[in-house]
Amino acid sequence: MQAEDRARAIVERVRSDGFQAIEALALQFGVTPQTIRRDVNLLCDRGLLRRRHGGVELPPEGENLAYPARQVLNIDAKRRIAQLVAREVPDGASLFFGIGTTPEQCATALLDHAGLRVMTNNLNVAMALCRSASCEITVAGGRLRSLDRDVVAGEAHGFFGRFAADIGIYGVGGVAEDGTLLDFSTDEVTMRNALAAHCRQRFLVLDHSKFGRGGTVRGGHITEATAVFTDRPVPEPIARQLSDAGVRLVSWPDDGATIDTTRQTRRG
């Protein structure tokens, strides 16, 4: 197993099972404790894990990771989600993109689309789509959050209200058990709500790790989306809420096919 693959597997193990001892990880992956310590040091420097005596654990709940750390976390899942979204977006569409790394991956997956008109407060989305000669991009002005590479405060609050988009593509910090959407600041919630209020279709994009994850600010509900795109089946109570509300749930099963649980269709 390559070092980067092993590092991702370590993060997934800690996310699923909690604290992991260095010695136990070494046995699991068939490498020396010194090798695991090097992996762990890199992951802690990225903000993905936190050192604890004899091993590692996740950072505290309610704290969002630094953007570079989030870019590599669950990257394969985010790319699968992006492929699902790309199938739903026609050429020539007008799009809102919110903040976060999953919307960024969705933008990258749309590079082969023609004539897109994009409005965003996510600088990574803007930079990704700059590689498309036919894409028209409008970026929100205001105070930049340099670590997150986005604009969410002050005059940016009115940005999305100046436009009307065919589709809004946005992520979220977490989803509570009752379906409430959670983020890490009131500015993030304000911008997300403004985006959702001014587009005809609302595509919520989130990987499996967001379900049950904590956040400090409540705002909105998962059933307010038009469609929810994720990489794995969602918890049954959430799936039931989405079905009852008529929200499309599109996930990526193990065989690579797309399952739309509302329309009950399957395509390769």
Tens of pLDDT, residue by residue over 163-207, are 999 999 999 989 999 999 999 889 999 999 999 999 999 999 999
Q: CA 245 to CA 42: how far, in whole Å?
A: 43
Domains (range + CATH), the chain = 3-59 (1.10.10.10), 70-267 (3.40.50.1360)
Tens of pLDDT, residue by residue over 79-120, are 999 999 999 999 999 999 999 999 999 999 999 999 999 999
Q: CA 266 to CA 268: how far, in whole Å?
A: 7
Give the SS3 label for residue 42: helix
**pTM higher than 0.85:** no
22-29 vs 33-46: helix crossing angle, rounded to 10: 110
* pLDDT surpasses 60 at 267: no
pLDDT-derived band at 256 (thresholds 50, 70, 90) equals very low
Cα–chain center distance at 93 = 21
